Amino acid sequence: MSKVLVTGGAGYIGSHTCVELLNAGHDVVVLDNLSNSSKEALNRVQTLTAKSVDFVEGDILDEVVLDQIFQNHQIDAVIHFAGLKAVGESQKIPLKYFENNISGSISLVQAMERANVFNLVFSSSATVYDEANISPLNEDMPTGMPSNNYGYTKLIVEQLLEKLAQADERWSIALLRYFNPVGAHKSGLMGEDPQGIPNNLMPYVTQVAVGRREKLSIFGNDYDTVDGTGVRDYIHVVDLANAHLCALNNRLNAQGCRAWNIGTGNGCSVLEIKNTFERVNGIEIPFEFAPRREGDVATSFANNARAVQELGWTAKFGLEDMLADSWNWQKQNPNGYRD
């Protein structure tokens, strides 16, 4: 069993990954500055697992804090979730994104090098693929210039980690390219808790369902898709969390830097999400069609064969689980962790 440093471990994907790590017998140290999360998420991780998490409130840009963590703990591997992720905000304050996501990642790997820890799993995104690629997207397809600064930071960090592993064979790095994470822990104790107006579809839908928002705006109904609305590959957050355990396992016995898509391989439209949510949960979602959102592509879904073959990972949850679990979380926690 390993001791894993989880940066951003109080966040949506990080907290679910902590549960899976602890349940698998790993020890977990979380470093999070709580800029987009709440300590309550970690309390719930501990309740669900009956295990304790070592929590350090601090920033990945703070090398003193990082060195202390590596001195105080025998860390075997790092899973690096910490980062800012709001696409629209990244267009308004790019430097904040460059500093936090790019400089923050450099600061982290520098501290890892000082501590002789060379196993890393990085949260990347399907947004790094060139928009001209036709889905299903596979890892050999070219990356391209993302349409926003958030995506740009993911591409840059992927590239610098690749170059790092090329230059120094001690590194073993997994780049996990997430598609669209949704869903929540089955217990309803943990889930996605965005601050302010949600940017992403699923928390918007659940906030409409719970009465916090009036209606869903569907961005575009004239795409060349099954019903004119955008098609994405939604992946249950617990399946995504487990992909990190598979990647850790793979990297502990490997060398170099390699990318894996983490998606189900199924494309699903916005209208299908709305209709399936209504059917599974018995709640109507009022909606209107609105203009296309700038920067959106019509269709994006994964070819996940590489993760299945090389990591031994499979997605166990389908769309109905994702939508039932998202709702279970939201209805039990109408105001997220801020109750």
- Give the footprint of ligand WQD on this chain (CB under 6 A): 85, 87, 125, 127, 151, 180, 199-201, 204, 216-219, 230, 232, 270, 293, 296
Among 70, 81, 171, 204, binds ligand NAD (CB under 6 A): 81
User: Choosing among ligand WQD, ligand NAD, none, which partner's interface includes residue 254 (Cβ < 5 to 8 Å by kind)?
Assistant: none
Amino acid found at 9? G
The answer to whether 82 contacts ligand NAD (rule: CB under 6 A) is yes
Closer by beta carbon to ligand WQD, 13 or else 56: 13
Nearest approach, Cβ of residue 140 and ligand NAD (Å): 20
The active-site residue out of 12, 97, 150, 152 is 150
Residue number of the CB closest to ligand NAD reads 11
Q: In what helix (H) or strand (E) does residue 87 lie, and over which residues does it extend?
A: helix 87-92
Nearest C-alpha neighbor of 276 from the set 234, 304, 332 = 234
Counting other chains too, the contacts that 51-55 makes at CB distance below 8 Å and 24 or more residues apart are 51/22, 53/9, 53/18, 53/22, 53/28, 53/29, 54/27, 54/28, 54/29, 54/30, 55/9, 55/10, 55/29, 55/30
SS3 content of the chain, % helix, strand, coil (to 5): 40, 20, 40
Q: From residue 216, how far is each of 34, 146, 251, 284 by CA, in Å? A: 28, 26, 41, 11
Closer by beta carbon to ligand NAD, 33 or else 261: 33
Q: What region, left, alpha or beta, does residue 25 occupy, with left being phi > 0 and alpha being psi -120 to 50 degrees?
A: left
Residues in binding contact with ligand NAD, number by CB under 6 A = 28
**234 has catalytic annotation:** no
Closer by beta carbon to ligand NAD, 131 or else 214: 131
Closer by beta carbon to ligand NAD, 283 or else 327: 327
The answer to whether 33 contacts ligand NAD (rule: CB under 6 A) is yes
Nearest approach, Cβ of residue 318 and ligand NAD (Å): 19
Among 48, 60, 273, 319, binds ligand NAD (CB under 6 A): 60
Name the residue with tokens 């898709």: 225
**What are the catalytic residues?**
150
